[in-house]
Amino acid sequence: MAPYYHGSGHTEPPEGQGAHEHSHEHGHSHEHGHGHSHDAVDDGPAPPHPEPLERGAGTGKLLFLDAFSGIAGDMLVSALLDLGVPEQAIGDGLAGLAVGDYELRIVRRTRSSIAARGLDVVETAAQPSRDYAAIRTMLEQASSLSEGARDIALRAFAVLAEAEARVHGTTVERVHFHEVGAVDSIVDITAAAIALDFLDAEVVCSPLPIGRGFVKSQHGRIPSPAPATLLCLDGVPTLDAGIDRELVTPTGACLVKAVASGFARWPTMRPLRTGFGAGVMRLHDRPNVLRAVLGETAGAAAHPDSSHVVLEANVDDMTGEVAAWALERATEAGALDAWSTPIGMKKGRPALMLSALARRADLDAVAKALLSETTSLGLRVRDASRIERARRMTEVQTEYGVIAVKVADGDGLPVNVAPEYEACREAAEAHGVPVKQVYAAAVAAYAAGGAGV
Mean pLDDT of all residues in 21-34: 37
Contact 201, 377 (CB under 8 A): no
Q: What is the pLDDT of residue 378?
A: 85
Mean pLDDT of all residues in 404-411: 85
Residue type, 194: I
Q: E strands within 22-143?
A: 62-66, 102-111, 114-123
Distance CA 18, CA 84 (A): 26
pLDDT at 47 over 80: no
Which residues belong to CATH 3.30.70.1380 in the chain? 308-384
Q: What is the pLDDT of residue 219?
A: 64
Mean pLDDT of all residues in 316-343: 93
Q: What is the pLDDT of residue 158?
A: 92
Distance CA 80, CA 302 (A): 22
> Per-residue confidence at 13, pLDDT binned at 50, 70, 90?
very low
> Per-residue confidence at 410, pLDDT binned at 50, 70, 90?
confident
Mean pLDDT of all residues in 371-378: 89
> Per-residue confidence at 28, pLDDT binned at 50, 70, 90?
very low
Of 254, 363, 249, nearest in space to 299 by CA: 363
Relative orientation angle of helices 363-373 and 320-332, to the nearest 10 degrees: 160
CB contact set of 162 (below 8 Å; sequence gap of 6+): 172, 231
DSSP-assigned letter for residue 68: B
Contact 306, 385 (CB under 8 A): yes
Contact 134, 309 (CB under 8 A): no
**Centroid of chain to Cα 92:** 20
pLDDT at 431 over 60: yes
C-alpha separations of 58 from 77, 88, 442 in Å:
16, 18, 48
Count of C-beta atoms within a 10 Å radius of residue 239: 11
> Per-residue confidence at 213, pLDDT binned at 50, 70, 90?
confident
Of 193, 182, 184, nearest in space to 142 by CA: 193
pLDDT at 33 over 60: no
pLDDT digits (tens, 9 = 90+) for 101-111: 788 888 889 99
Mean pLDDT of all residues in 440-452: 83
C-alpha separations of 314 from 100, 370, 427 in Å:
37, 11, 37
| Most confidently predicted of 36-45, 125-134, 156-165, 325-334 | 325-334
Distance CA 394, CA 412 (A): 19
Q: What is the pLDDT of residue 101?
A: 79
User: Who wins on pLDDT, 26 or 397?
Assistant: 397
C-alpha separations of 132 from 26, 40, 174, 377 in Å:
15, 30, 8, 29
> Per-residue confidence at 217, pLDDT binned at 50, 70, 90?
low
Among 3.40.50.410, 3.20.20.70, 3.40.462.40, 3.30.70.1380, what is the CATH number of 308-384?
Answer: 3.30.70.1380
DSSP-assigned letter for residue 192: H
Which residues belong to CATH 3.10.20.300 in the chain? 391-447
Q: Going by DSSP bridges, is the β-strand pair 214-217/220-223 parallel, antiparallel, or unpaired?
A: antiparallel
> Per-residue confidence at 65, pLDDT binned at 50, 70, 90?
very high
Distance CA 104, CA 124 (A): 11
Of 256, 282, 279, 281, nearest in space to 78 by CA: 279
Distance CA 5, CA 103 (A): 6
pLDDT at 18 over 60: no
Mean pLDDT of all residues in 249-256: 94
Q: What is the pLDDT of residue 304?
A: 46
Kindly state the percentage of the chain with pLDDT values over 70: 84
Mean pLDDT of all residues in 325-337: 94
Residue type, 430: A
At 233, give phi and psi (nearest 5°). Answer: -95, 15
Mean pLDDT of all residues in 174-192: 76
Distance CA 268, CA 295 (A): 9
Of 16, 63, 45, 437, nearest in space to 269 by CA: 63
pTM of the model: 0.61
Q: What is the pLDDT of residue 12?
A: 30
* Rounded (5°) CA angle 249-250-251: 95
Q: How far apart are the first and last CA of the chain?
A: 81
Among 3.40.50.1820, 3.50.50.60, 3.40.50.720, 3.10.20.300, what is the CATH number of 391-447?
Answer: 3.10.20.300
pLDDT at 223 over 90: no
Question: Which of 54-63, 172-181, 229-238 is predicted least confidently?
Answer: 172-181
Q: What is the pLDDT of residue 24?
A: 38
Q: What is the mean pLDDT of the chain?
A: 83
